[in-house]
Structures are given as C-alpha cells and as structure tokens.
Structure 1
Amino acid sequence: MKRSFAVWLFLLAAAGPSFADDASSKLAFFYDSCVSSGPDFERTSERAKTDEWPSMAQDLALTFTPMENPEALEGWIISGGESESFQALVVSRANVGGKIVEGCTVALGDVDAAVFEKALVEKVNAVSAGEEQGQDRVYKRYTASINGRSEAITLTLPLYAKGSDQIIASAVAEQQIEH
C-alpha cells in the first residue's frame, strides 16, 4: 500500500477543499463496509451496483489493495466532490497459501487519524501485531476476532497527525462461504 499514497494525494487535491469530518462517521463506514461481517467481495460489489457508486480505474484500485496479485479487484470513489471529503472503497480476492482471502480497503480524507485509530481499536478489541515507519507514514497492523472470524487490520496513518488527515484502513480475512 505504500505506493498508493502519491496517487491518493493527487485524488485528494483534485477533490477540492473540505472541512474535517467526524472520525466516528468514517469509522462507521470502514466498520460497516469491511469489518463487521468481514471483507466480502460479492456483497460489496452488489452494494456498489445498488448504490450506483462510480467505479475506480483498475490500476488505481490495485494501489490500494493490501494483497499482491489479486484474482479479483474492484474499487469505487464514494465521495470527494467540492463539499465532501474523499472516501474510496476497494475490495479484492486472492489465493494465499492455498486459501482464498478477501480484502477490503477504505481511503479516507479529512479524518482525525488518532481519534479514528483509538476508536477502532476499542470497538473491535484489536491487538497490535506490529508497525513499520516510512518516511512520512506509519503502517500499523492489528488482529481482531469479529463474530468468530479472525481479521487482519492495517492502518496507514500520517507520521505526524494534524487532526485533518488522510488515512488508509484495510481488513483481510479468509473467505467465508455461505451455505
């Protein structure tokens, strides 16, 4: 996901000015779309069709997914007009070690990164699984058990949060087959 930040900054600049949104609404978007019932490629694709979300170019969507070489990939720009802060959603599916895993990523603009992270950790009782520091970003990994399903959650946050930040949040889990 490190390579996506420059492209994402371009999209944020093109989206126009906006005011800092409430971190809880951004968390609700990530939680409802990616975490509460886990990443689900089919469910999210159907929601995008129903809600008529504008599609994102495949090469751009690829920059947001935490998986290498996904077998399936779709992305949408949810908002980002002149009066709205940027929100994008990408889902992916890949075969990792003989298991099908699905990923769900949101890119969010104008959010208080510290508030978002703290609220997410508390909401899902996330356990830290490590972090890496880049030149201007920090990549924090967590694990959580949501409704009996183990999920890996990654947050890409600014190194120096200022309260109106751009973040990327991803959840990855083994695919759930409905019976």
Structure 2
Amino acid sequence: MKRSLAAFFMLVATGPSFADDASSKLAFFYDSCVSSGPDFERTSERAKADEWPSMAQDLALTFTPMENPEALEGWIVSGGESEGFQALVVSRADVGGKTVEGCTVALGDIDATAFEKALVEKVNAVSAGEEQGQDRVYKRYTASINGRNEAITLTLPLYAKGSDQIIASAVAEQQIEH
C-alpha cells in the first residue's frame, strides 16, 4: 500500500513544484474532516454539489486508514500547479460493533512540518505514538473536537523538504443526527 501511494504522488506531481501555504491546506483538512468529524453523507453531498471528479475505488482504498470499509468514495479536489494536489476520501466501517467514519486528505506541494505544527496547535492534539517506515513517518494523535473524540493520523515524509506530499486522516464514531 505504501509503495502505491508514493507512485501515485509521483504521477500527480507533474510540472514545477510550488510549496503551498500550509494554513490553506490545513483549513481544507479541518473543514472537511475534523471540525464536525468525518461525515460520509455530508462529504458525498458536498462532492456532488462542487462537481469534484471521482477517484477510482482501488486508488481511494489506498488512502483510507480503515481495513475493509463498507462504504468508500474519493475525489480529486484540485491538481493545478497554483493550488497543488488535493484529494479527499471518505469511508465507513464496522469496528468492534460500532460504525466509524473516516475522512482522509492527500495533499501535495505542502510544508509538512508547518502543517503538522499548525494542526497540533489548532486541535490541541495529543500524541498517541508514531511508526517509521522506509521513507515515511506515521504519526498518530487524539483530539476532542466539539465534544467528539477523533483519532488523527498523519503520513509525512521522513525528511521534509518544504514541498512535500502528506496524507492526513481523521476517524471517529459515526454521529447520528436526531
């Protein structure tokens, strides 16, 4: 899986690379996945309204932190040189008898260090551990946002260079509106 993610980013990173403002991409992740928690239906409706191009299911599956999701959708949100690459994937799965939803963004041309620092400060995230791969580091955090506990995972380059590719995911128990 990790190898296919690197290959995917190489495919979308065509043309000159421009480091994007980390705060605008953090706002995209926060607004789409964190502030109200992952929400499969809300995000799907937004994608249809904004006419985002769909992503192939097998590619979307490489971005979700959940194994065997019951529902999965993904979109390419942008890819122009001025904006940098952005993709969004939502998923839903049964974990231990509870329905959980996940929301993931893949971002290109971003300062990974600035993104992580700003996210941790914005949501008052608490470190829950990390693992190091061959060329990536996987950092896990927990945060309570608007009374809802969320697990946040960042997939960052082992050696950030300021115009990086990252994956940020939030997972939380599904909220049922009454």
Structure 2 length-normalised TM: 0.95
Deviation per CA, 1:153-178, whole angstroms, max 9, x where unpaired? 00000000001100000000000000
Counterpart Cα distance in 1 of 2:23 and 2:7: 25
What's the secondary structure of 2:161's corresponding residue?
coil
Counterpart Cα distance in 2 of 1:86 and 1:110: 7
CA contact (8 A) 1:16 1:80 kept: no
CA contact (8 A) 2:34 2:145 kept: yes
Counterpart Cα distance in 2 of 1:111 and 1:65: 20
Pick closer, same or farther for the CA change 1:12–1:36 going to 2, 3 Å: farther
What's the secondary structure of 1:19's corresponding residue?
coil
Pick closer, same or farther for the CA change 1:11–1:159 going to 2, 3 Å: closer
CA contact (8 A) 2:55 2:74 kept: yes
Pick closer, same or farther for the CA change 1:108–1:14 going to 2, 3 Å: closer
Counterpart Cα distance in 2 of 1:15 and 1:50: 28
Give ranges in structure 1 of 5+ residues lacking alignment.
Answer: none
* 1:161 corresponds to 2:168: no
Counterpart Cα distance in 2 of 1:125 and 1:112: 20
Question: What displacement does 1:3 show?
Answer: 4.7
Q: Residue 119 of structure 2 aligns with which residue?
A: 120
Deviation per CA, 1:135-167, whole angstroms, max 9, x where unpaired? 000000000000000000000000000011000
Deviation per CA, 1:22-42, whole angstroms, max 9, x where unpaired? 000000000000000000000
Question: What displacement does 1:134 show?
Answer: 0.3
Counterpart Cα distance in 1 of 2:14 and 2:32: 22
Number of residue-to-residue matches in the alignment:
178
Question: What displacement does 1:5 show?
Answer: 1.9
CA contact (8 A) 2:18 2:81 kept: no
Question: What displacement does 1:11 show?
Answer: 5.4
Counterpart Cα distance in 1 of 2:81 and 2:110: 16
CA contact (8 A) 1:15 1:80 kept: no
**Superposition pairs for residues 1-179 of structure 1, below 5 Å?**
2-8=2-8, 10=9, 12-13=11-12, 15-179=14-178
CA contact (8 A) 1:15 1:85 kept: no
Structure 1 length-normalised TM: 0.95
Question: What displacement does 1:19 show?
Answer: 1.1
Question: What displacement does 1:17 show?
Answer: 2.6
Counterpart Cα distance in 2 of 1:4 and 1:92: 19
